[in-house]
Structure 1
Amino acid sequence: MRDEVVMIGLIAAVVLIALYWTLLYRGVSLSVFTAVTAVAIAALWAVGILGPVGVTIVAVLFAIPAIAFNVVPLRRNLLTKRLYTVFRKILPEMGQTEKDAIEAGEVWWEGEMFRGRPNWNQLLDFKLTELTAKEQAFLDNETETLCSMIDDWEVNFERKDLPEEVWNYIRGNNFLAMLIPENMGGLGFSAYGQSCVVAKIATRSLTAAVTVMVPNSLGPGELLTHYGTKEQQDRWLPGLASGKELPCFALTGVEVGSDAAQMPDRGIVCKRQIDGEEVLGLSLTFNKRYITLAPVATVMGLAFKLKDPDGLLGDPNTVDYGITCALLPTDTPGVNIGRRHFPGAVFMNGPIHGEDVFVPIDSIIGGKEKAGKGWRMLVECLSAGRGISLPALSTATGKGMYGITSAYSRIRRQFGTEIGNFEGVREGLGVIGGYAYILENVRNLTASAVDHCTPSVVTAMIKYHSTEMMRTVINHAMDIHSGRGIIMGPRNYLAAAYQALPVAITVEGANVMTRSLMIFGQGAIRCHPYVLSEMEAAHSDNFDKGLKDFDKLLFSHIGYTVNRMVRSFTLGITGSRLAKAPVDNEMSDYYKHMERFSAALAFSADLSMGSLGGALKLKESTSARLGDVLSHLYMASATLKAFEVNGPTEEDKVHAQWAMEYHLHEIENAFFEFARNYPIKGLRGVLKAVALPTGRKFAGPSDEINAKLCDQMQAMSLDSAFGKRMSYDIYIGQGENDPTGRLMGAFNKLQEVDAFYGDFLRGVKKGEIAGEVLEDQLADAVANNKLDETQAQKIREYDRLRYDVLLTDDFSKEYLVNPNSEEGRKAEHAEQAELRKVS
């Protein structure tokens, strides 16, 4: 009998544990949880496990917290009021620039990945932007023509500038007005359309790409379009759209980079006598640097701190208005502009100075009503532009290196075989291929998102990760090309991108800041379903209303945190088998694992914010690792989306598997380092148990999958569906005098001889084909019926192209000393042409 009682008790305990675990896993409401508990107590009494005394004790113990937590007015007075009072006191005040940065833009798919239970239909139903007929025509015609006009060696080494005819073509064909609506004289392109144009130009010349990119990313055109008055739009937009006006925007200064709150540039509201009339305006004093297009700009946007000490704007109680944006001609008296910086790429970039520069009050973008609203305007425009321009540059580099490095790895032979067959080379080549595929998917998804909303957190994470991937891709490409990549000259298609790489890394804030402060710092508040609302409630001037809102948010937040903890642990110990995938294909398991990691991120973020509070802002490595998790969840989502849209081609299966194995490996590593180094040692075990209860399972792409990827890269046809997707916005030069044309011409000819060229080389190596030089070897092969004359001629043609690809440039001493001499350039170019004939 005693054994039966014990057994019944154990069964009841197991049932209750399973019941409550299920309730917590599903995330039921407090009222449902309470009702189920009441039913459970009644059931225990009904089956005799609890007697009258026991049920009374349990009921009383249960009733007290049940009433306290479920009767909302009682709960607010007994518990929440005390917590709310403390929270209001300890919550630090948020500066206006920080507040504007957090509130700018919108939360999109990254919010789903942050919150632990992603609604996959939101991703799968989202429609990627497609090029319109007008955008496609512009990409195929004007953009192609622009690329064909550019000699990047001439731009970077000889002129240190774009030729005048290129400048005129850019200005005359609306390249600087892609985002300006058509009814205002611009092209009115989508974000995705702009991205494709910038990407294609970048595969030809980073200098030209930056020149086109910046006015379409952050500049007077965008600010006027979104915030300008009708008078300002009518005055400036036609000239900006036609190219008559060249814009720049002056934001960064000597004393301040990313910390805009410390901006020393000032604008004082005052009155001046102008042509005998009293004019209300601004006295501007500023010192800016790193301003793209400044040396050639005709109109400048300017960010400064506005002060109105005499109340001339109509509010005598406000002196400090904060960051404001104004628009003024660069020939305004007192503006010192025209000198150049010399960044890694030779695009126009330079400083701007001004002291007591007077402009009328209507120079404020948006008019007096926008005084002090400049930082919010800038952050929103930067967020959108960041999602277009830098991913475009990075993707262009990734896809460009994908094509040229895989082609070169087949053309270049060492030790009797193509270097692309060496495992050491394939390690780097696979990374180039995997990253290029990831970058293309992320670029497409993010640009499409910008066409629908203003996703601020997404664009920050993609700025960081896309440019870091670009850094890795270029480094691997340089390693594989070896000496071929370091000798400067017209033949070198790598050096300019390698030299200009730091520009992308540092623009719009150095990557170390973007990763450590922006991604999770903004994402944790914006993506979280409760934190921002709790902060707003705590800052409420109405104590009673704030308390009421805070109470509701707090207890929803507690339930949310417990649910994500239980979900993460449960999915972790079951290998994510309890998660549901929205598709049934090769990617199904990856969806399940991502849901598990999403839940782990939600819990880890909550525990971090709860245990570290405001100190989390200073724990940059901790927040950066959580930001890495969120970023890789988003980037993996882009691959899953692309796989569903494009269909499971053989190339997509291999590339997508490589990408997903890479992302999940990076996520696990980020969680591992996060838990191992968490500032509060007592919580490290909890974090590891919830995020990685069975340890790390993803080791990254295997050698086998990497080898498959490399094989596909080296056999890639631009006529295949996959090849077209990877090259539709890539510029490939034409002819043997073009650096990429020379390489791709040789690669195409290699594919023509592939069927018999390998046998021919093996025959030579084994001594089955005689001859010391190629002509003798071909003659012997034809004579012994190992090749026919047509095949021999094709090998002869390929070998000439192959040798030409391997050559590097050399110059006269006089030319290197003075490359800007027109006469010297012509002489050097003529000599180079003769050398090509000889070789």
Structure 2
Amino acid sequence: MSIAVPFLAFLLVGAIAAYHRLRLAVWAAVTAAVLVACWLLGANGAATVVAGVLVALIAVPLLLPAIRLPFITKPLLGFYTKILPPLSETERVALEAGTVGWEGQLFSGKPDWEVLASQPKPTLRPDEQAFLDGPVEELCRMTNDWQITHVDADLSPALWDYIKKNKFFGMIVPKEYGGLGFTALGNHKVIQKLASVSSVVSSTVGVPNSLGPAELLMHYGTKEQKDYYLPRLADGREVPCFALTGPWAGSDATSIPDYGVVCMGDWNGARVVGVKLTFDKRYITLAPVATLIGMAFRMYDPDGLIGDKQDIGISLALLPRDTAGVEVGRRAMPLNSPFQNGPVRGKDVFIPLSQLIGGEAMAGKGWQMLVECLSIGRSITLPSTASGGSKMGAIATGAYARIRKQFGLSIGRFEGVEEALARIGGHAYTVSALAEASAAAVARGELPAVPSTISKYHCTEMGREVAKDVMDIIGGKGIILGPRNFAGRNWQAAPIMITVEGANIMTRSLMIFGQGAILCHPWVLKEMKAATNPDASARLRDFDAALFGHIGFAISNAVRSLWFGLTSAKVGAAPGDTYTRRYYRKLNRYSAALALMADTSMLLLGGKLKFKESLSGRLGDVLSNLYIASALLKRYEDEGRPASDQPLLAWSIHNAVFKIENAFSGALRNFPIRPIGWLLWALVFPLGRRAQYPSDRLCHKVASLLMSPNEARDRLAVGVFTTPCANNPAGRINSYLQKAILAEPVERKFIKALKNSDIEAHDFATQLDEGVREGWITTEERKLLEDLRELTIDTISVDDFEAEELRSATYRPSGELGRAAA
């Protein structure tokens, strides 16, 4: 036998062992057995001995702790300690605040799909469904978005009263405190439905049920605080806001300059220890109408009144609006989407320590509290808002594209419009699945730090893309504002969602991969904790276990990535049915490649990786789209694998995979150490890139789904306000679709007969008279065409106004256009 056979056997067994992640001892035993078999079958003796020596040189020192610990692990621990980037207290708290769910499997390089399949299907409780069918439906009926956004720049008094009376502000407040006690899923469904009719109403309801006093009190409040404030928040006696952002601290919330100094002061006629606050906050939603203000500030105790630490740290407090010195500034106008928003200021505002959220015991723990609750807020309010707007945009625009005709053809039949419709349908399907997945994670009791940033970033970005495509398709209908316009305000509101709760640019380039690489990686956080363990013996032992687990993990992912690349992920065990199995295999491939890229980047770039924002952003795109594709497959499985949804699923998965390969390509082509980038390319793309953007044929199928009544379209419409009432132009257009389709054959017959006749009538009514007289159409068919004309007019019509109606009735220019909210 050839001299190469023992070495080939050595490599083959090693590759198989790495692929399946067998233990080192198992690899050594199997390799030894295979080499013995080679020798017995006549392989070159010298080559077999050399291969055996290689096995021994690797296995013996690594398998014997007496050799491995002092001679390998200890020097590596010293080196690791030197290159370990220091973690700030802010970063440490952020890493420890969240929990790891499915995203950890995606970082493993070998996802256990049973974990995803075992997650229960998201299901509303009966009381949550009843609330959606009752009070939420009625609130949507009452909502006149044009009146809110143009005429009043506010909700009507009737809407405010209805929201408070029906405890919309208390959805997350437990029932024992007078709230509704809804799950995160119930909260998501309510915000989604409200957003489908008005982003102002959805944000007004969403903020009190997101990051704010109620959420913080539920998790950290004292018994006295909960007993007093939660019932008042639940029934609307208190309207809350939370003041975090200021002129000098936006996305960098930990740098807030607002401060409070511990001192003695007067409160309700008594002399007590408290905090004197000075603050300047802006962009605070609900501030103009809030009666209770949550406040983040840095707390100092220079006189040691409550301890020996002068800089106590970020703390959170509750300020009643009527507290002496609190100034709520004039309203801001967020892009003509006039939800209540404005600045809050104060100088030397005294409050007792009892107004700290959680009392004195939680002083200095504000950042931890914020991080834990921010992940919940990002998981619900903004993704739900994007989902409601996207789903309604898909349903209404699909109907519009079928009803609206140009050149005698529905505009949705033009391929250019089909492309945009397909993007709308695919993105709406994706946003819906992702928003529900993140809400379900919270409902399961998780604190999804990484999924919340993924969901916030990608839902709002895709929501913006949907709004853009909707505007492109409906044209003048979208740009002429008025009561008939169902898209213009969503277009104006899209950048708001991109900006709030952490700017999307920062979220993508710093947070998604930056947190995920450490929090979700199976070994990195263990290594970091082991390396900083004050117990020397435990430090060496724990670091040894983590280090060699990490090494085996890295080798396995390199092998798996290469194998999947060579086979185009068409070989290997995977769940799913004959339709979806290929998708699961693709995700297995990219999971291994992500783990390989993450390990290589962290090893070679170390602490510099946090400053390589383009690389971090692209690897974050890979992780995000893996998570998104998983959410899509989970939704498809939970729905019972409906065949009619397959075009939507296929478009969304192909789009996600295309983005994954684009992100990998950008990261590899721009990897800071070029030879390593070339090597990684060979492992990730050994046969080159293969993913393609969804085909024209698939786009046609998705567009057709949106333009015809079918089960998939009905499922996409679930959870949005489609009732065809006077205040819901999108719902009316959607209701016309069936009638328009029924009339299409009659319309074609009538137009054909009219073209071939010598009738000189020009107006539609006279032409119909002639058509009935000539026998082209029946009286019943004439009624169909009249109805079609009427519904088409309502579909395409826009509003006009007297000039005076468009002028503000109260604005009066002065020497300055408006006082600057610094």
The CA deviation string for residues 157-198 of structure 1, in whole angstroms up to 9 with x for no partner, is: 111111111111111111011111111111011111111111
Question: Is the Cα–Cα contact under 8 Å of residues 434 and 655 in structure 1 kept in the other structure?
Answer: yes
In the alignment, what sits opposite 1:378? 370
Question: Is the Cα–Cα contact under 8 Å of residues 306 and 372 in structure 1 kept in the other structure?
Answer: yes
CA distance in 1: counterparts of 2:797 and 2:439, whole angstroms: 39
In structure 2, the CA distance between the partners of 1:310 and 1:697, relative to structure 1 (3 Å rule), is same
2:424 aligned with 1:432: yes
In structure 2, the CA distance between the partners of 1:763 and 1:675, relative to structure 1 (3 Å rule), is farther
Counting only pairs closer than 5 Å after superposition, residues 270-289 of structure 1 correspond to structure 2 as 270-274=263-267, 277-289=270-282
In the alignment, what sits opposite 2:815? none
Counting only pairs closer than 5 Å after superposition, residues 499-538 of structure 1 correspond to structure 2 as 499-538=492-531
CA distance in 2: counterparts of 1:802 and 1:296, whole angstroms: 41
CA distance in 1: counterparts of 2:266 and 2:809, whole angstroms: 51
Which residue type is aligned with residue 807 of structure 1?
A: S
In structure 2, the CA distance between the partners of 1:573 and 1:738, relative to structure 1 (3 Å rule), is closer
39-48 vs 778-787, greater mean Cα deviation: 39-48
**Paired residue for 2:679, among 664, 677, 686?**
686
**Paired residue for 1:259, among 234, 252, 258?**
252
- Post-superposition offset of 1:136: 1.0
Which residue type is aligned with residue 211 of structure 1?
A: T
CA distance in 1: counterparts of 2:672 and 2:756, whole angstroms: 64
2:11 aligned with 1:17: yes
CA distance in 2: counterparts of 1:765 and 1:71, whole angstroms: 92
In the alignment, what sits opposite 2:69? 76
CA distance in 2: counterparts of 1:120 and 1:58, whole angstroms: 37
> Secondary structure, in 3 states, of the residue corresponding to 2:138?
helix
Which residue type is aligned with residue 780 of structure 2?
A: T
In the alignment, what sits opposite 1:197? 190
2:792 aligned with 1:798: no
- Post-superposition offset of 1:77: 1.1
TM-score by length of 1: 0.93
Question: Is the Cα–Cα contact under 8 Å of residues 107 and 595 in structure 2 kept in the other structure?
Answer: yes
In the alignment, what sits opposite 1:394? 386
Question: Is the Cα–Cα contact under 8 Å of residues 395 and 713 in structure 2 kept in the other structure?
Answer: no
- Post-superposition offset of 1:269: 1.5
Which residue type is aligned with residue 747 of structure 1?
A: L
Counting only pairs closer than 5 Å after superposition, residues 445-484 of structure 1 correspond to structure 2 as 445-452=437-444, 453-484=446-477
**Paired residue for 1:346, among 313, 335, 338?**
338
The CA deviation string for residues 548-602 of structure 1, in whole angstroms up to 9 with x for no partner, is: 2111110110000000110111011012133212122311111111101111111
Which residue type is aligned with residue 345 of structure 2?
A: H
**Paired residue for 1:417, among 409, 412, 415?**
409
Question: Is the Cα–Cα contact under 8 Å of residues 5 and 43 in structure 2 kept in the other structure?
Answer: no
In the alignment, what sits opposite 1:220? 213
Percent sequence identity over aligned pairs: 44
**Paired residue for 1:408, among 400, 409, 412?**
400
In structure 2, the CA distance between the partners of 1:274 and 1:220, relative to structure 1 (3 Å rule), is closer
368-377 vs 522-531, greater mean Cα deviation: 368-377
- Post-superposition offset of 1:46: 4.5
CA distance in 1: counterparts of 2:39 and 2:402, whole angstroms: 78
Question: Is the Cα–Cα contact under 8 Å of residues 135 and 193 in structure 1 kept in the other structure?
Answer: yes
Counting only pairs closer than 5 Å after superposition, residues 162-177 of structure 1 correspond to structure 2 as 162-177=155-170
2:120 aligned with 1:130: no
Which residue type is aligned with residue 15 of structure 1?
A: A
2:558 aligned with 1:565: yes
In structure 2, the CA distance between the partners of 1:113 and 1:738, relative to structure 1 (3 Å rule), is closer
In structure 2, the CA distance between the partners of 1:329 and 1:783, relative to structure 1 (3 Å rule), is same
**Paired residue for 1:488, among 474, 481, 484?**
481
In the alignment, what sits opposite 1:34? 28
**Paired residue for 1:662, among 655, 679, 700?**
655
User: Any gaps of 5 or more consecutive residues in structure 1?
Assistant: 1-6, 822-839
Question: Is the Cα–Cα contact under 8 Å of residues 763 and 769 in structure 1 kept in the other structure?
Answer: no
> Secondary structure, in 3 states, of the residue corresponding to 1:117?
coil
> Secondary structure, in 3 states, of the residue corresponding to 1:695?
coil
In the alignment, what sits opposite 2:816? none
TM-score by length of 2: 0.95
2:588 aligned with 1:595: yes
In the alignment, what sits opposite 1:808? 798
**Paired residue for 2:320, among 310, 326, 329?**
329
CA distance in 1: counterparts of 2:57 and 2:393, whole angstroms: 67
CA distance in 1: counterparts of 2:617 and 2:297, whole angstroms: 30
The CA deviation string for residues 42-70 of structure 1, in whole angstroms up to 9 with x for no partner, is: 4455455465x777766666544433222
- Post-superposition offset of 1:488: 1.4
In the alignment, what sits opposite 2:176? 183
Report the number of matched residues: 809
Counting only pairs closer than 5 Å after superposition, residues 611-760 of structure 1 correspond to structure 2 as 611-717=604-710, 720=711, 722-735=712-725, 738-760=728-750
CA RMSD of aligned residues (A): 1.9
In structure 2, the CA distance between the partners of 1:8 and 1:752, relative to structure 1 (3 Å rule), is same
In structure 2, the CA distance between the partners of 1:773 and 1:334, relative to structure 1 (3 Å rule), is same
Question: Is the Cα–Cα contact under 8 Å of residues 179 and 190 in structure 1 kept in the other structure?
Answer: yes
CA distance in 2: counterparts of 1:595 and 1:55, whole angstroms: 35
CA distance in 1: counterparts of 2:425 and 2:407, whole angstroms: 25
Question: Is the Cα–Cα contact under 8 Å of residues 116 and 602 in structure 1 kept in the other structure?
Answer: yes
Question: Is the Cα–Cα contact under 8 Å of residues 769 and 781 in structure 1 kept in the other structure?
Answer: no
The CA deviation string for residues 329-350 of structure 1, in whole angstroms up to 9 with x for no partner, is: 1111111114211112100111
CA distance in 2: counterparts of 1:603 and 1:57, whole angstroms: 30
In structure 2, the CA distance between the partners of 1:595 and 1:281, relative to structure 1 (3 Å rule), is same
In the alignment, what sits opposite 1:830? none
Which residue type is aligned with residue 65 of structure 2?
A: V
In structure 2, the CA distance between the partners of 1:448 and 1:62, relative to structure 1 (3 Å rule), is closer
Which residue type is aligned with residue 26 of structure 2?
A: V
Which residue type is aligned with residue 318 of structure 2?
A: L
268-277 vs 624-633, greater mean Cα deviation: 268-277
In structure 2, the CA distance between the partners of 1:329 and 1:533, relative to structure 1 (3 Å rule), is same
CA distance in 1: counterparts of 2:202 and 2:124, whole angstroms: 19
Which residue type is aligned with residue 776 of structure 1?
A: T
Which residue type is aligned with residue 302 of structure 1?
A: M
User: Any gaps of 5 or more consecutive residues in structure 2?
Assistant: 812-822
CA distance in 1: counterparts of 2:111 and 2:441, whole angstroms: 17
In structure 2, the CA distance between the partners of 1:774 and 1:227, relative to structure 1 (3 Å rule), is same
Question: Is the Cα–Cα contact under 8 Å of residues 733 and 739 in structure 1 kept in the other structure?
Answer: no
Which residue type is aligned with residue 726 of structure 1?
A: L
- Post-superposition offset of 1:121: 1.0
Question: Is the Cα–Cα contact under 8 Å of residues 285 and 357 in structure 1 kept in the other structure?
Answer: yes
Counting only pairs closer than 5 Å after superposition, residues 238-257 of structure 1 correspond to structure 2 as 238-257=231-250
564-573 vs 765-774, greater mean Cα deviation: 765-774
CA distance in 1: counterparts of 2:150 and 2:161, whole angstroms: 21
Counting only pairs closer than 5 Å after superposition, residues 47-196 of structure 1 correspond to structure 2 as 47=41, 49=43, 51=45, 62-196=55-189
CA distance in 2: counterparts of 1:275 and 1:429, whole angstroms: 61
Which residue type is aligned with residue 399 of structure 1?
A: K
CA distance in 2: counterparts of 1:120 and 1:629, whole angstroms: 18
CA distance in 1: counterparts of 2:416 and 2:661, whole angstroms: 26
Question: Is the Cα–Cα contact under 8 Å of residues 157 and 819 in structure 1 kept in the other structure?
Answer: no
> Secondary structure, in 3 states, of the residue corresponding to 2:316?
strand
In structure 2, the CA distance between the partners of 1:684 and 1:767, relative to structure 1 (3 Å rule), is farther
> Secondary structure, in 3 states, of the residue corresponding to 2:349?
strand
> Secondary structure, in 3 states, of the residue corresponding to 2:3?
helix
